[in-house]
Amino acid sequence: MSNSLTVSLTGTTDLPPGKIAAVVTSLEMLAQPAERPDPPGTEGFSLDRIDGNDIERYLDVYRLLGERWMWFSRLVKPRAELAVILSDPAVDLYAVRFDGRDVGLLELDFRAAGEGELAFFGLDEPVVGKGAGRWLMNRALALAWAKPIKRFWVHTCTIDHPGAINFYQRSGFKVFKRGIEIDDDPRLKGQMRADSVPHHPVIA
């Protein structure tokens, strides 16, 4: 099968079976926003630094989010390449802890000089919508802007939680770019569980 396709800039472009597609929105902030209070009830949440050499622990937390929201870039990357990224001192990895278990992932990437990327940010389903997102964003912003950066950015896509874009905008990020991301469906290649991400069904 050819690996290229002309995307129409007006109207719909059909994709071959076996593909997934999302609209990607990128957002940025160029200064640290005003601090916001943590919502009540978030006292039990904490951040636990993940050792960048502990790839299995990292992937366990990543899969928690990935199998719900189609995050798979880290699952398909060759282990040697992933090890280089995760062990880079400019990449900060945290598990969100609540009630004795991992319930979320925060990954901050400062490898590009003068800027930071909120590379992965997410909570497990049972703790979404209860204030922990704001709690986690408060931590992410404080950690990021403690570094010598002039820009902090994030991207989210239409397969992510539908509230993510508004949440990021309420956090102080401004939209600056939109794109289309097309990939082979990782569920058809055995790279993700076949029953994962039910809101973006497999078309075999």
- Residues of this chain that interact with ligand COA (CB under 6 A) are 39-41, 65, 69, 121-123, 128-134, 156, 160-161, 163-164, 167, 170
What span, in angstroms and rounded, lies between the C-alpha atoms of 173 and 117?
A: 12
Instruction: Output the CA–CA distances (angstroms, integers) from residue 81 to 84, 100, 165, 166, 186, in the order listed.
Output: 5, 31, 30, 33, 19
Nearest alpha carbon to residue 187 among 200, 177, 174: 200
Kindly state the smallest distance separating residue 26's Cβ from ligand COA, in Å: 10
> Nearer Cβ to ligand COA, position 1 or 97?
97
Kindly state the smallest distance separating residue 92's Cβ from ligand COA, in Å: 16
> Nearer Cβ to ligand COA, position 134 or 147?
134
Which residue number places its CB atom closest to ligand COA? 133
> Nearer Cβ to ligand COA, position 17 or 129?
129
Residue 2's DSSP bridge partners are: none
> Nearer Cβ to ligand COA, position 14 or 195?
195
